[in-house]
Structure 1
Amino acid sequence: MDDTERATGRLPSPIIWVVGSVLIAALFFADYRALHDGIIGKSEIWGRDFANVWTGGKLALSGQLDRLYDLDRYRAFESALYGHRGVHNYSYPPFALFLNVPFALLPYGVALALWLAGTGYLFVRAARPWLSGRASWLLLVTPAAMMNIWAGHYGFLIGALFLAGWHWLPNRPRLAGVAFGLMALKPHVAILIPVILLLRSEWRTIAVAALTVGLLVLVSALAFGPDLWLQYLTVTSGVQARMIDPGKEFYGLMSTSLASGLLRQHVPAAIAYGAQGLAMAGVAVAVTIATVRGAPPKTLALLAATGTFVMLPYAFNYDLTVVALAALVTYGRADAAPLERAVALVAFLSPQWGMLLSATGMPLTPVALIALFWVQARPLVSRGRDVPAGAGAMRSA
């Protein structure tokens, strides 16, 4: 493995890590000050979006899944559970309930602790091929990871599946397919994976990933009814699409989307979505060139991680766990120029500092991600013809 795939051991100084978590420390403190009987203020429960994991499981256990994708009835059920009127919505496919139910069997506080500890452990294990030794545990306290902990979200789990799939791809392509298939929990985060696999002719991995998704859909339809899938595909997709334009809602500060950042600053929608479209096209071209010119899987993994969040018009900073790793690897490259290290540091800090700057009128996070992607992609797309071209030379054994 070369330095483009693994950090050389050079990490940002401790002060960078401290500065990177100033905002999350303030948010945790504010939540603690407002905490009463597990409720933050009058609208949130400690662990925030983990409430969806627990609520979904409770609905399944109580046989009330007709409420799952009905926004008003879902929130009414949540209110009865937690003693407050929640503002959540269940945005995950029906097969996520298989994951939710075991946590719903536990008391909420125990379930939350186990969720964060278990998914955090999986993420660290999956990241070790890129950042080995004790340093890998630092991935639990990157600015992105701390946002995921505060939000109680899927960032560690999805990041673990993403990294495990790329690590297994060369020698265990079927197992890689299972990992990639399980990412259908949040399918938009896997948007670049099938593109790269097709370009590399990774047919076994593609087949197993498709089979994994198909089985998840089939088993969940048999267990919970096909109507639940129809509701997910029609109702939930509309709710999520409307969140691209956040207005002045707090969650808009957490968006990684260029379109959302521009819309928040009252840029006309045609310009905002046009800029997002250009970013998507640029990422697609760069990833295609890097793939056909022979970039190895572990390099493509980090490139795809950053490129995914440049492309997506709907995404949030608690899912940037792998992008934080990409920033650290970029910073730690032996041949990294000072400007490249500066770009990596800004991207590393952006999950939290981007929220503050977005509130003042500057969408830092999408700009930082675009810059990091360019730093990662530039040496891959500018290589000479000595790199083997074509997918056939890169097919897994």
Structure 2
Amino acid sequence: MDAPSSSRLCLPSPIIWVVGSLIVLMLYIMDVRSLQHGIIGLSEMWGRDFANVWTGGKLALSGQLDLLYDVARYRGAEHALYGTVGVHNYSYPPLALFLDIPFALLPYGAALTVWLVGTGLLFVLAARPWWPEGRVPWLLLLTPAAMMNIWAGHYGFLIGALFLAGWHWLPDRPRRAGICFGLMALKPHVAVLVPVILLLRGDWRTVATAALTVGLLVLASALAFGPELWAQYLTVTAGVQARMIDPGTEFYGLMATSLASALLRQQVPAAIAYGLQGVAIAGVAIGVTVATVRRAPPATLALLAATGTFVILPYAFNYDLTIVMLATLVAYGRPDASLMEKAVALTAFLTPEWGMVASAIGVPLTPIALISLFAVELRRQVRSGRDAPAGAGVARSA
């Protein structure tokens, strides 16, 4: 890591952490009250979206992969495995089955525990270079986005760990960084800015290694599970996920982070919603290009790209904001941070959960907060032209 750490930086006060997680704590309480034999309200498995990981592995082990991307038949398979469950669909590329199968060998409860503990540990280890020396950043597992990820049983910790590890290893171990970035093909849209920045920097060994990693995973999955799965994923599943950009009145729409989803939920005309999303995409693309051309170090680019990714993605949700939480804490904890910078960072820190409340009453708080955080971080980088103390990390509570 190219940036020094500092024990002088501090976190928001404990009351902010408590307030930040009130919404998910309410969701936990509601789930527990309706929990029966591992099923929440007769509609969802405990661990929610982790059910897709376990189901995918079970279908692979039983030779029923023809059900994987057929939404109706997939839900029928889940009903057979769990009883009555929610309206899931398998949205991951076939290469994710290599990850799913080991978890499907365990009982569901044990698999969920290993998933959350294992991926949480990886995320903590990957975040250490951004944290003060001598302190283990376990508090990153208690940020609002992390708590949502635990509630949803999702990939936020694993993808976050691969992202941070890749940027950490980029200067000295470019091939290892490329492997990490390549493995992000599990959720490829979250890595959308990575190849752009790597190409602008001329990190050819990392680009080549990442491309080779993805290529080998695609080839291996096609050989192991059949090439027709890739055809179904790229046609049927891509269409299902694209339609989710417009959430209507569905609950998951409250969890969306994109400007387009927020505006469509408020019945803004699609042309305007997607037009403004396009403006956000262009702004981030220009900003990331400027920061990269001005030779911002990987520690800076990692956090800038993390926030920028969720500004430009029209399809993304709050449980994936685990890396953005690190960016907010770094921005808030700088000794020289202005009141405006602290306010923006604190607002973005709270939005994974309170953004849901704001969305419910018609305020697109989450995308506004993310755009503001990106702008503040870009302004600081352009103004300073260096990485001090952008990757320095954060420390004890004030």
Pick the TM interval, shorter chain.
Answer: over 0.9
Structure 1's consecutive aligned runs of 4 or more residues displaced over 6 angstroms after TM superposition are none
Q: Which amino acid aligns with 1:353?
A: W
Structure 1 residues 270-304: Cα deviation after superposition (integer angstroms, max 9, x where no partner): 11001100000000000000001010001000000
Greater shift, 253-262 or 332-341, is seen at 332-341
Instruction: Spell out the pairing of 1:119-138 with structure 2 (5 A cutoff).
Output: 119-132=119-132, 133-134=134-135, 136-138=137-139
The percent of aligned pairs where both chains have the same amino acid is 74
- Aligned residue in 1 for 2:288: 287
Find the aligned partners of 1:97 and 1:74 in 2 and give their Cα distance: 15
Q: What CA distance in whole angstroms lies between the structure 2 residues aligned with 1:360 and 1:160?
A: 34
Match of 2:83 in 1: 83
In the other structure, the counterpart of 2:312 is 311
Using the alignment, how far apart are the partners of 1:330 and 1:190 within structure 2?
A: 22
Contact preservation (8 Å) 1:276, 1:313? yes
CA distance in 2, matches of 1:190, 1:2: 23
Which residue does the alignment assign to 1:390?
A: none
Q: Post-superposition shift, 1:218?
A: 0.3
Residue type at the aligned position of 2:114: L
* Shift in Å, 1:225: 0.5
Kindly state the Cα deviation for residue 85 of structure 1 after the two structures are TM-superposed.
Answer: 3.9
The answer to whether structure 1 residue 324 and structure 2 residue 325 are counterparts is yes
Contact 2:246 2:261 in 1 (8 A): yes
Classify 1:237/1:86 alpha carbon distance in 2 versus 1 (closer, same or farther; 3 Å).
Answer: same
Partner secondary structure for residue 148 of structure 1: helix
1:269 aligns with 270
For 1:121, give the aligned amino acid. L
Deviation, structure 1 residue 382: 4.0
CA deviations over 1:97-140 (Å, ceiling 9, x no partner): 01000000101000001000000000000000001343511000
RMSD between aligned residues:
1.4
Question: Which residue number in structure 2 is paired with residue 205 of structure 1?
Answer: 206
Q: Distance in 1 between matches of 2:159 and 2:342?
A: 26
CA distance in 2, matches of 1:18, 1:7: 23
Instruction: Output the CA distance in 2 between the equivalents of 1:72 and 1:134.
Output: 48
Residue 42 of structure 1, CA deviation:
2.0
Counterpart of 1:113 in structure 2: which amino acid?
A: T
**Could you tell me which residue of structure 1 aligns to residue 108 of structure 2?**
108
CA offset digits 1:186-214 (Å, max 9, x no partner): 00000000000000000000000000000
Alignment-derived partner of residue 15 in structure 2: 15
Gaps of 5+ in 2: 388-398
Alpha-carbon separation, structure 2, partners of 1:337 and 1:354? 23
Instruction: Say if 2:229 is the partner of 1:237.
Output: no
Q: Distance in 2 between matches of 1:280 and 1:222?
A: 36
The aligned amino acid for 1:78 is: E
Q: Distance in 2 between matches of 1:201 and 1:310?
A: 24
Structure 2 CA distance for aligned equivalents of residues 313 and 210 of structure 1: 24
Q: Which residue of 2 aligns with 1:59?
A: 59
Quote how far apart the aligned CAs of 1:8 are: 4.6
Judging changes above 3 Å, is the alpha-carbon distance between structure 1 residues 241 and 148 closer, same or farther for their aligned structure 2 residues? Answer: same
* SS in structure 2 at match of 1:79: helix
Tell me if the contact between 2:311 and 2:371 (Cα under 8 Å) persists in the aligned partners: yes
CA distance in 2, matches of 1:287, 1:221: 34
1:92 is the counterpart of 2:62? no
C-alpha contact (below 8 Å) 1:257/1:312 kept by paired residues: yes
Q: After TM superposition, give the deviation of residue 157 of structure 1 in Å.
A: 0.1
Give the Cα separation in 1 of the matches to 2:16 and 2:135: 18
Q: Give the counterpart letter for 2:67 in structure 1.
A: R
Specify whether residues 85 and 144 from structure 1 end up closer, same or farther in structure 2 by C-alpha distance, changes over 3 A only.
closer
Residue matched to 2:177: 176
Q: Deviations over 1:63-106 (max 9, x none)?
A: 00000000000000000100114310000010100100000010
Tell me, in whole angstroms, the C-alpha distance in 2 between the residues paired with 1:81 and 1:37: 13
Contact 1:144/1:319 (8 A) holds in 2:
yes
Corresponding letter in the other structure for 1:27 = L
1-side partners of 2:8 and 2:252: how far apart? 36
- CA–CA distance in 2 between the matches of 1:6 and 1:186? 33
SS at match of 1:128: helix
Q: Does 1:30 align with 2:30?
A: yes
Q: Number of residues paired by the alignment?
A: 385
SS at match of 2:129: coil
The match for 1:391 is none
The residue number in structure 2 matching 1:394 is none
Query: How far does residue 19 in structure 1 lie from its aligned partner after superposition?
Result: 0.3
Give the whole-Å Cα distance in 1 for the aligned partners of 2:8 and 2:355.
27
Bigger shift: residues 132-141 or 20-29: 132-141
1-side partners of 2:380 and 2:24: how far apart?
34
1:7-29, Cα deviation, whole Å (9 max, x unpaired): 85311000000000000100000
Give the gaps of 5 or more residues in structure 1.
388-397
Once the two structures are superposed, residues 210-245 of structure 1 have per-residue CA deviations (whole angstroms, 9 ceiling, x without a partner) of 000000000000000000110000011000000000
Where does residue 394 of structure 2 map in the other structure? Answer: none
What is the match of residue 219 of structure 1?
Answer: 220
Query: What secondary structure does 1:63 align onto?
Result: coil
Between 1:76-85 and 1:302-311, the stretch displaced more is 76-85
TM (normalized to structure 2)? 0.95
Aligned 8 A contact 2:260 2:274 in 1? yes
Q: Is the 8 A contact 1:7 1:328 kept in 2?
A: no
Structure 1 residues 360 and 7 mapped into 2: Cα distance closer, same or farther (>3 Å)? farther
Tell me by how many angstroms 1:335 deviates: 1.4
Q: How far apart in 2 are the matches of 1:347 and 1:208? A: 34
Secondary structure of the residue that 2:130 maps to in structure 1?
coil
User: Which residue does the alignment assign to 2:391?
Assistant: none
> Counterpart of 2:14 in structure 1: which amino acid?
P
Indicate if the aligned counterparts of 1:7 and 1:130 stay in contact, CA closer than 8 A: no
1:327-346 to structure 2, matched below 5 A, reads 327-346=328-347
